[in-house]
Structure 1
Amino acid sequence: MTASPNDDATVTPPAATDTSVVDPAPRPHATAEEVEAARKDTKLAQVLYHDWEAETYDDKWSISYDERCIDYARGRFDAVAGDQPLPYERALELGCGTGFFLLNLMQGGVAKTGSVTDLSPGMVKVALRNAESLGLPVDGRVADAETIPYEDNTFDLVVGHAVLHHIPDVEKSLREVLRVLKPGGRFVFAGEPTTVGNFYARWLGRATWEATTRVTKLPFLADWRRPQEELDESSRAAALEAVVDIHTFDPTDLENMAKSAGADQVHAATEEFAAALLGWPVRTFEAAVPPEKLGWGWGRFAFGGWKTLSWVDEKVLRHVVPRGFFYNVMITGVKPGN
């Protein structure tokens, strides 16, 4: 059973052929009481947190559907699954969020048609809206990643970005992924936090938030401070974030988990070490100050700095730094068969 955004109800993801069931509506604001209840119910927390974030998520994480993010998504795919015949006929994004990964992969020629699923009704709504605005053939359902509401052997490709660490039983979900894949079909998951990377990223984020919110209390920096109610809401969202981020991964352990689920040709890769040391303070600072204060020059600095340090990571540091020290881990595997 999946946690519902309703206070006293649960919802089971319907079968893909059941058109009589209407997905639950988004709940964009959680009360203090709901947040407290969600501390004891991780799936309720997933719904509340991601519904809360859905309408602003793309802005918060500088997500776009243009060449910049198409190249990023395609780069993550190619890093672990390069040299594959493209495009795949039908792809599924698990834990789609706003559709960032699948929609940009489709624009990058990786798949022809797509389906999106997420436990959060708000995220599915935004993902489908984004797909429609891009003219992409995508359908979607509110669904639990541990019980994917599609028939066996449906998809040629399953993808996800920053989703596995939200799922209580990752191996069960990977078994579901293999079930809905056709024989020979591939999965690619990217953007998952490593255990070491998560430690320093969280520390940097907390330190940046504390420093920014303290400094902007000074009278001469008052116009750099977000309204207190926005900061309070961000703090409540952060409290839920601590509940929804369930796992971190050692790359080798994640490979073993995928193999145990039944996958062949399993391979994990990591990225972002120096880039993460810049990226986390930058993103936290952006969340703590009014967006109008950060103009084109800031965006150029943030993206340019990330690209430069990513190049350093790829060309230099990955040869000398253990892969478990990088922030992001990506993994791919194939369903046994033809």
Structure 2
Amino acid sequence: MTVRPDDPAPNATALNDAAPAWNDPAPNDPAPNPHATEAQVEAARKDTKLAQVLYHDWEAETYDDKWSISYDQRCIDYARGRFDGAVGPAPLPYGRALELGCGTGFFLLNLMQGGIAKSGSVTDLSPGMVKVALRNAQHLGLDVDGRVADAETIPYEDNTFDLVVGHAVLHHIPDVELSLKECLRVLKPGGRFVFAGEPTTVGNFYARWLGRITWKATTTVTKLPTLAGWRRPQQELDESSRAAALEAVVDLHTFDPSELEALSRSAGAVEVKATTEEFAAALWGWPVRTFEAAVPEEKLGMRYRLTMYRAWLRLSWLDENILRRIVPRQFFYNAMITGVKPGATTE
């Protein structure tokens, strides 16, 4: 899974409710469209970038809740762990960082809080996501600006950033190599890019099947009269099914780690390295997350969430300390890739 579920730590709902009106995206950027019409959804099936906007605008205000995203030590440690796992020891902090496909700001904002970068810029094709990311940054007191932007045509000058990051974004981009070239263009010489949370081809196969089986089993069993209280309203289930249909349009790629390295080198990067993570943790996490999406939230108490989270931590330890030595890297679910723009080292 791309972001850790099943933890009772605070999420961004309070941030979103408490934040004042502030720092909106650039004046010429489009406004969010959280309620797409049926005609727009139908058109999006044939237009992947429209699908990206509609799907992510629809999810923007509830995304942090859905994936248990927070901006406290739990997710700071998670984001920093992904960065350190991809890069290894590095001089910190970077100066200015850019996040592509920022979503609600999960990766960059937590990396900044973890001491990775001093200031940042968030970009996303979805106006709704940029709006929420800036709101979260404002609440956290972070020096962040934002733009609605296509990752294939990044709207910043050459040699602007010391670091470019992204989490679960490359698999949404039609031309990944072009996007990586754009990253290198806006990086200063010696600057680094780090992308995490990208699905491997093998991992995506078993994760999708686990998710489908769990969804089918849960929504079927909860039709029984004795379990009716565990069934979400049909309207919500139908909406989730429509969202899943668009998700199939917005998820464009899976990656073999070696192929991801080759793409990065072809784009012009040096010091390229792909790593992978989550095998047992993914086999556990996908059914858990799907089950949670299929039942009413109030049915899942604090004890359940703590139990699920602790199980995920134990399985992650197993992955890192034992299975990594046995299981080929392409069988793990998440891929991370890093590379450097040729030239002088960024200070």
Q: Given the two structures, how large is their TM-score scaled by the length of structure 2?
A: 0.91
Quick one: which of 299, 305, 313 aligns to 1:307? 313
Quick one: which of 41, 48, 51 aligns to 2:54? 48
Aligned to 1:154: 160
Following TM superposition, by how much is the alpha carbon of 1:31 offset from its aligned partner in structure 2, in angstroms?
Answer: 2.4
Quick one: which of 238, 249, 253 aligns to 1:247? 253
User: 1:185 aligns to what SS in structure 2?
Assistant: strand
Which digits, 9 at most, give the CA deviation of each residue in 1:67-118, with x for residues without a partner? 1111000000000112111110100000000000000000100001010000
Following TM superposition, by how much is the alpha carbon of 1:155 offset from its aligned partner in structure 2, in angstroms?
Answer: 0.3
**Aligned-partner Cα distance in 2 for 1:299–1:133:** 26
The gaps in structure 2 that reach 5 residues or longer are 1-24
The gaps in structure 1 that reach 5 residues or longer are 1-18
Which digits, 9 at most, give the CA deviation of each residue in 1:264-317, with x for residues without a partner? 000000000000001101111111111111111121122111111010001010
Amino acid at match of 1:68: R
Aligned to 2:337: 331
**Aligned-partner Cα distance in 2 for 1:120–1:211:** 33
Aligned to 1:163: 169
2:282 is equivalent to residue 276 of structure 1:
yes
Aligned to 1:217: 223
Aligned to 2:33: 27
Aligned to 1:142: 148
**Aligned-partner Cα distance in 2 for 1:33–1:216:** 32
Amino acid at match of 1:152: D
* Structure 1 residues 130 and 30, CA gap change in structure 2 (3 angstroms): same
Which digits, 9 at most, give the CA deviation of each residue in 1:162-207, with x for residues without a partner? 0000000000000000000000000000000000000000000011
Amino acid at match of 1:120: S
* Structure 1 residues 62 and 115, CA gap change in structure 2 (3 angstroms): same
Over aligned residue pairs, what C-alpha RMSD do you find? 1.0
Aligned to 1:64: 70
Following TM superposition, by how much is the alpha carbon of 1:21 offset from its aligned partner in structure 2, in angstroms?
Answer: 4.8
2:301 is equivalent to residue 295 of structure 1:
yes
User: 1:197 aligns to what SS in structure 2?
Assistant: helix
Amino acid at match of 2:337: I
Contact in 1 for aligned 2:26/2:146 (Cα 8 Å): no
Aligned to 1:116: 122
* Structure 1 residues 246 and 229, CA gap change in structure 2 (3 angstroms): same
**Aligned-partner Cα distance in 2 for 1:29–1:62:** 23
User: 1:287 aligns to what SS in structure 2?
Assistant: helix
**Aligned-partner Cα distance in 2 for 1:255–1:86:** 24
User: 1:249-264 counterparts in 2 under 5 A?
Assistant: 249-264=255-270
Aligned to 2:111: 105
Amino acid at match of 1:90: R
Quick one: which of 259, 267, 290 aligns to 2:273? 267
Following TM superposition, by how much is the alpha carbon of 1:222 offset from its aligned partner in structure 2, in angstroms?
Answer: 1.2
Which digits, 9 at most, give the CA deviation of each residue in 1:1-60, with x for residues without a partner? xxxxxxxxxxxxxxxxxx985211111122222211111000000000000111111111
**Aligned-partner Cα distance in 2 for 1:289–1:62:** 16
**Aligned-partner Cα distance in 1 for 2:226–2:28:** 52
Following TM superposition, by how much is the alpha carbon of 1:217 offset from its aligned partner in structure 2, in angstroms?
Answer: 1.0
Aligned to 2:132: 126
Amino acid at match of 2:41: V
**Aligned-partner Cα distance in 2 for 1:21–1:308:** 46
Higher alpha-carbon deviation: 41-50 or 224-233: 224-233
User: 1:229 aligns to what SS in structure 2?
Assistant: helix
2:199 is equivalent to residue 193 of structure 1:
yes
2:237 is equivalent to residue 234 of structure 1:
no
Aligned to 2:17: none
